[in-house]
Each structure stands twice: as C-alpha cells, then as structure tokens.
A and B are shown apart, each in its own frame.
Chain A
Amino acid sequence: EAGVAQSPRYKIIEKRQSVAFWCNPISGHATLYWYQQILGQGPKLLIQFQNNGVVDDSQLPKDRFSAERLKGVDSTLKIQPAKLEDSAVYLCASTTGGLNTEAFFGQGTRLTVV
C-alpha cells in the first residue's frame, strides 16, 4: 500500500515570497490533516478536511495561509506572504475517517524562510 506522498521535501524561500506544498493521501482515506511542526515542538494542527470539506481550521493563520482539497483527494497548502516564523516542517497525514482511526503521515516538507 502506497503511503502519504508530499512534495517538495525541502524548500528555501525569502520572506514575503509565496510557497505551496502538495499532499496525496493514501487512496480511499477520507480525512486529511495539515500540521506545522516547529523544531523541538509537537505537530500543530493547521487544518483538517473530511473529504473535500473543512471540518477544522481554527489554528490556520488565514491572513497568509490557505488550503484546499479539490475532489476530496489531493491537497495543497499555500503560504503568501511567508514570514521568518513560518520556518518549520509541514506534515500531511490521512486517516480512513471517523473516530478511532490511526493517522498515517507523509515525510513532510521542510520550509526555511530567510
């Protein structure tokens, strides 16, 4: 079974530039999460999709971050404009959906803003 795919693996941009991350969850997984993990901290939930609908985006900085999941499969997370404090690993995870299901994580995208 193929895992969660993310790209790119690494990205370096200057502050105020824009960047986009892509995630392809495990086939058939209804729930998709985007997390931000700053070095030395736990993953922080940014947004959660159930199929192509948003069920939680309470921690997403909506003035600069946006995410979509068209057709309920792939998802993209965008930052525009980036700030220095956005430097982190962005993790995508998926589950089959519903309660009591384990999350499968992608390798993550390491973003450095200079």
Chain B
Amino acid sequence: GQQVMQIPQYQHVQEGEDFTTYCNSSTTLSNIQWYKQRPGGHPVFLIQLVKSGEVKKQKRLTFQFGEAKKNSSLHITATQTTDVGTYFCAGPPRNTGFQKLVFGTGTRLLVSP
C-alpha cells in the first residue's frame, strides 16, 4: 500500500533558526496537504497544494509540491516558539476517485527560546 515518509523524524532548533521537513510518497499523489499537531492536540489543516511544482507561502511558511507529485517540503523561516509541534503531510493516491488521506510519519519540531 501507499507509504508516506518524512524526514527528519525530529529536529530541535534555536528560536530564529530555519527549519525544513521533507515528505516522500511511494505513489503519485493527486494533492498534498500539510497539518500541524500541537502536543496533546489534534491535527489542524495548514495548506493544500494541487499542481505539479506548486509553491505556496503563508507568512514564514513556504510549501512546495514536487514536479512528479510524489514529494513535498515545508520550510519555516526564523522559527518561533509557537511553531512547536509535529508537522504531517498527507495525500491521496492519484486516481483513487476519493480523498483517501494517508498521513506521513511526521516531523516533530522543538524550538528553544
């Protein structure tokens, strides 16, 4: 079945440093979504990318969808303590005909002040 891997598994940065997490799917995706889960919380939707090579920005966050629609990345510029949490990518395999959301393994971000 479809597998979605993320690296790194964990990263600890100082406030103000940049952070990047990478997402790789074993199958081509129809779209990619990113979620953030705070400690003890539930996943919260951040953004969705649909087109091959698409890049979207949300303030300090930059999201990219690969040309082959099998990988994606999330980059945070100048991290803040509020960025702490686990970041998940999720996406349905292409041609499933419905939004089967398979989540990645996640990257846990810790930010020290």
Please name all residues of chain A whose beta carbon is closer than 8 Å to the beta carbon of B106 when the two chains form the complex.
41-42
Any A CB within 8 A of the CB of B13: no
Name A50's contact: one of B88, B92, B98 (CB within 8 Å). B98
Give the distance in Å from the alpha carbon of A99 to the alpha carbon of B92 in the complex.
Answer: 9
B60-100 near A? 1/0 per residue, CB < 8 Å: 00000000000000000000000000001010100000111
Give the distance in Å from the alpha carbon of A15 to the alpha carbon of B31 in the complex.
Answer: 39
Q: In the complex, which residues 55-114 of chain A have their Cβ closer than 8 Å to any Cβ of chain B?
A: 55-56, 58-59, 91, 93, 95, 97-108
Any A CB within 8 A of the CB of B24: no
Contact A102 B33 (CB under 8 A): yes
CB distance from A2 to the nearest CB of B (A): 15
Give the distance in Å from the alpha carbon of A44 to the alpha carbon of B105 in the complex.
Answer: 9
Name B42's contact: one of A45, A55, A95, A108 (CB within 8 Å). A108
Name A56's contact: one of B6, B33, B100, B103 (CB within 8 Å). B100
Interfacial residues, chain A to chain B (CB-CB below 8 A): 31, 33, 35, 41-45, 48, 50, 55-56, 58-59, 91, 93, 95, 97-108
Q: Can you add 11 more A-B contacts, CB < 8 Å, to A42-B103, A102-B33, A105-B44?
A: A31-B99, A35-B103, A42-B6, A45-B101, A55-B98, A56-B98, A91-B42, A93-B43, A95-B99, A100-B31, A100-B99
